[in-house]
Structure 1
Amino acid sequence: MSIPFRAITAFHAAARTGSMQQAAEVLGVTPSAVSQQIQIIEAHIGVRLFSRKGRKSVLTEAGERYFEMIRDDVDRITAATERMRGVNSYTTLNVRIAPTFATKWVMPRLDEFLALHPDIELRLDATNEPPDFARENIDLEIRHGAGPWHGLHVEPLVDEPMEVLCAPKYAAAQSLSAAQLDGHTLIHSVKNVVQWSDWFQHQGHPMPTQSRRVLFDRAHMSIDLAANGHGLALESRLTAAQEIASGRLVPAIRDAKPIIQQSLWLVCPYSHLNRRKVRHFYNWLKSTLTEFPAAAH
């Protein structure tokens, strides 16, 4: 039996948009035509992919699994077909990016990239999960970690001075010493390359024994908690740049010995560097980082 590709396309559109009506608009058909095609694919594979909840159609568990399995392949086929037909003046750039860097640095500056490159349709996937470039439709990754990773183009983006930061209402700027942090709330970003234990060792002091710990797996959560006055965060001046510039965060430690974290990397297969859209994003991102004079801190 031949595979009903038209029905698969209708299912993909309905699952992606979450609506038969919106899927119909995307495909240029009626909602009843979309529903009919979904019935065809359900009959073909022998499972229900959608169920009714009131007036809405929602994915079943089997539908969610099926969409997850076909999503990237259908996206690749669609993009390749549109490029070959030349009917779409847009080209899609898929970037996987570390969540905190995306939230704190890239997003506030993204309007500039979009204005410079109106022909690029940008899709950002903010996650720390490394992509499988052979199977996933990812052009470029901004990876957070210690590096390096073999078999890929791996390029460090920027050196990040790490600093103990707090809200002015928690402690005045440079009013504390490393020896005075017993009893304070230390906010931990558990995925940072430089941890509190590294910082204290670098300062020549043991870790406090009476401090309260609060732990997060996203640095932007640590930054926000510190900015709200709930403790001391050891964070990159790069990702906390907005809060420092606005005065919501200040350096808490006087005479601290500088410590640098290298945790942001541009990662992709070597062949992806030949893609025009990748070079455009790469060059733009590097240009934004010239705003950040790491050596000055």
Structure 2
Amino acid sequence: MQRRFLPLSALRAFEAAARLGSFKAAAKELAVTPTAVSHQIRALEAQTGLVLFDRHVRKVSLTDGGAQLYPVLRDGFDAFEATLARLTHQRTRIQVTISATNAFTVKWLVPRMADFRSRHPGIDLQLQASDDLVDLRSTAVDIAIRYGRGPYPGLITQPLFTDRFAPVANPRLGVKTPDDLAHVPLIRFDWKRAQPENPTWERWFTLAQRSQPRQASQLRFSDEGHAIQAAVAGHGVALVSLALIADELEAGHLVQPFGPAIDGHTYHLAMYAGRPASASVEAVAQWLLAQAALQ
């Protein structure tokens, strides 16, 4: 389909309905009637030859084709919105946007915001938490925190710190030795990219030279932050980033009863090489590097 024939109104209606899971909710957001949204989407389906939604009584769900189309449109509209906001709105204060994973944002960046404000009262930080990679070339994101081994083509990167993972638990759980792992649930979370060097329980048991207990029950989460919260709540033993639970360890909400600790990946500070960093962005970058040096 050529660009000049793209049905932009229908694509906007589809994106809203996919995001909200309802034609009615999409219509309310777009200030049109549900019938108008339905007509737009049916016209889009007719033009593409695809069925994009499974229609239910009170909601709609995406088909395989719709599920492939939705994230592309979502990211595109988000980029339009962010870039237009940056270009058309005159801000009285300087704003710098940082993109990072959900867990890193909540557990590492947010606890340090008071320090940043005290050092840079004239800069407002906008934290964009997402486990999906952002394209620094086409978004309003100034700095991204990349987690991995690299390299990162087209980006200027500096290492922040290398992560370490170890078993942790609520002290009330009474876990003292590796033998206790046979009697408590193991808490896991899903890695976005399956790599042999990921710090998983399998890798930990191999390094500890122990057999993984078959009778141990498990809890699995899609996000590391949720795994941390489950451990804090006493639901089992989690193998998580020590950098992200520093506050919980210091407060005694979690303990690391035994080792070994194993290496994770490296957090990198990344900026788009094709866009010179402003003085405010450079100030934020230097603050991040200074905070990482305290790890």
State the TM-score, normalized to the length of structure 1: 0.68
Deviates more, 1:116-125 or 1:197-206: 116-125
Q: For residues 126 and 157 of structure 2, what CA distance do their matches in structure 1 show? A: 21
Q: Which residue of 2 aligns with 1:187?
A: 187
Amino acid in the other structure paired with 1:176: T
Q: For residues 32 and 74 of structure 2, what CA distance do their matches in structure 1 show? A: 15
Structure 1 residue 52 displacement after superposition: 7.4
Out of 210, 213, 220, the residue aligned to residue 215 of structure 1 is 220
Structure 1 residue 284 displacement after superposition: 1.1
Q: Which residue of 2 aligns with 1:258?
A: 261
Q: Which residue of 1 aligns with 2:164?
A: 161
Amino acid in the other structure paired with 1:188: R
Structure 1 residue 273 displacement after superposition: 5.8
Amino acid in the other structure paired with 2:97: N
Question: Does 2:263 correspond to 1:239?
Answer: no
Q: For residues 272 and 171 of structure 1, what CA distance do their matches in structure 2 show? A: 52
In 1, are the aligned partners of 2:154 and 2:274 still within 8 Å (CA)?
no
| DSSP 3-state at the match of 2:204 | helix
In 1, are the aligned partners of 2:82 and 2:139 still within 8 Å (CA)?
no
Amino acid in the other structure paired with 2:207: H
Structure 1 residue 201 displacement after superposition: 0.9
Q: For residues 288 and 181 of structure 1, what CA distance do their matches in structure 2 show? A: 34
Structure 1 residue 268 displacement after superposition: 2.3
Q: For residues 76 and 267 of structure 2, what CA distance do their matches in structure 1 show? A: 30
Question: Does 2:123 correspond to 1:116?
Answer: no
Query: CA 1:160–1:75 in structure 2 vs 1: closer, same or farther (change >3 Å)?
Result: closer
Query: CA 1:153–1:231 in structure 2 vs 1: closer, same or farther (change >3 Å)?
Result: same
Identity, in percent, stands at 23
Amino acid in the other structure paired with 2:177: L
Structure 1 residue 180 displacement after superposition: 4.5
Q: For residues 51 and 67 of structure 1, what CA distance do their matches in structure 2 show? A: 20
Gapped regions of structure 1 (runs ≥ 5): 1-14, 16-47, 54-58, 293-297
Query: CA 1:81–1:51 in structure 2 vs 1: closer, same or farther (change >3 Å)?
Result: closer
Where in structure 2 are the equivalents of 1:62-211 lying within 5 Å?
69-81=76-88, 88-172=91-175, 175-177=176-178, 179-191=179-191, 193-211=198-216
Structure 1 residue 225 displacement after superposition: 0.8
Q: For residues 136 and 113 of structure 2, what CA distance do their matches in structure 1 show? A: 24
Out of 200, 224, 232, the residue aligned to residue 227 of structure 1 is 232
Structure 1 residue 110 displacement after superposition: 0.6
In 2, are the aligned partners of 1:166 and 1:229 still within 8 Å (CA)?
yes
Query: CA 1:108–1:98 in structure 2 vs 1: closer, same or farther (change >3 Å)?
Result: same
Aligned residues: 233
